């Protein structure tokens, strides 16, 4: 897992008004959580943005340097303005170098399947992340899955992924990560409009009559 170092200050004021004022001053209000306890902090907008650009795509291990201490953490959650996309708030989860934690790690598919190149199949994506349990130093930033050998009808499941010792898989082992399916012929995609609409109208009309009865 890649590591970041961010300088942080403890917040003396909380609430929407205080948070808005902080953002206007160039800071992002944040919180560090651990075991039911929380510590409100603030981090400069320009300093935290490079971290967020990567942490929203893969797992990162970050050192938060406070005035009197340092805390090791990972990104737990964040909020952005739905209109402007501006970062509003960030939640961190404090972690210990020796304690196992549960996290979800994003999946990245690499390669072009044989079934797509040679047989005009379609690569279907399944789950986009896997939940694992491990100490922070063993947690990968992302999981690369090579799909280049997949032929039409082949699939890759969670159980097919090999992790190093010390990593426990929490996700369902039968979950599909990727599969290659047959591309339907153009004439087989949908029946004619008449074949779809007429039976549907009859069904709706019958249902409506039954409801009135």
**Digit-coded pLDDT (tens) for 77-90:** 999 999 999 999 99
Same domain, 170 and 89: no
Cα–Cα dist 18/46, whole Å: 19
- The pTM is what? 0.71
Same domain, 6 and 76: yes
Closest residue by Cα to residue 5 from 53, 59, 50: 50
Would residue 206 count as lying in a domain?
no
Would residue 145 count as lying in a domain?
yes
Residue 163 has pLDDT above 80, yes or no: yes
Q: What is the pLDDT of residue 137?
A: 85
Domain count along the chain = 2
Q: End of a domain among 75, 95, 115?
A: 95
Would residue 76 count as lying in a domain?
yes
Would residue 20 count as lying in a domain?
yes
Q: Is the dihedral of CA 76, 32, 93, 64 positive or negative?
A: positive
Same domain, 148 and 63: no
Cα–Cα dist 91/29, whole Å: 9
Same domain, 35 and 112: no
> Tokens at residue 144, please?
């690369």
| Residues 108-115, mean pLDDT to the nearest whole number | 95
Residue 134 has pLDDT above 80, yes or no: yes
Domain holding 72, by residue range, is 2-95
Cα–Cα dist 153/136, whole Å: 37
Phi, psi of 6 (to 5 degrees): -125, 135
State the CATH number of the domain containing residue 120. 2.170.120.20
Would residue 204 count as lying in a domain?
no
Q: What is the pLDDT of residue 170?
A: 97
Same domain, 91 and 135: no
Cα–Cα dist 158/167, whole Å: 13
Same domain, 126 and 42: no
């Amino acid at each position: 897992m890649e590591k970041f170092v961010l300088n942080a200050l403890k917040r003396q004021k909380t609430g929407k008004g205080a948070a808005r004022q902080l953002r206007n001053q160039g800071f992002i209000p944040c919180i560090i959580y651990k075991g039911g306890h929380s510590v409100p902090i603030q981090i400069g907008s320009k300093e935290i943005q490079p971290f967020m650009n990567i942490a929203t795509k893969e797992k990162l291990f970050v050192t938060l340097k406070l005035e009197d201490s340092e805390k090791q953490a990972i990104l737990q959650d964040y909020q952005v303005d739905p209109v402007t996309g501006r970062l509003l708030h960030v939640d961190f989860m404090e972690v210990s170098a020796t304690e196992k934690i549960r996290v979800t790690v994003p999946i990245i598919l690499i390669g072009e399947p044989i079934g797509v190149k040679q047989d005009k199949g379609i690569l279907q994506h399944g789950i986009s992340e896997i939940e694992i349990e491990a100490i922070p130093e063993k947690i990968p930033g992302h999981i690369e899955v090579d799909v280049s050998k997949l032929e039409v009808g082949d699939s890759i499941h969670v159980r097919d992924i090999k992790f190093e010792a010390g990593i426990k898989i929490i996700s369902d082992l039968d979950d599909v990560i990727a599969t290659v399916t047959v591309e339907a012929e153009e004439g087989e995609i949908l029946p004619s409009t008449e074949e779809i609409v007429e039976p549907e109208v009859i069904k709706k009309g019958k249902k409506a009559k039954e409801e009135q009865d």
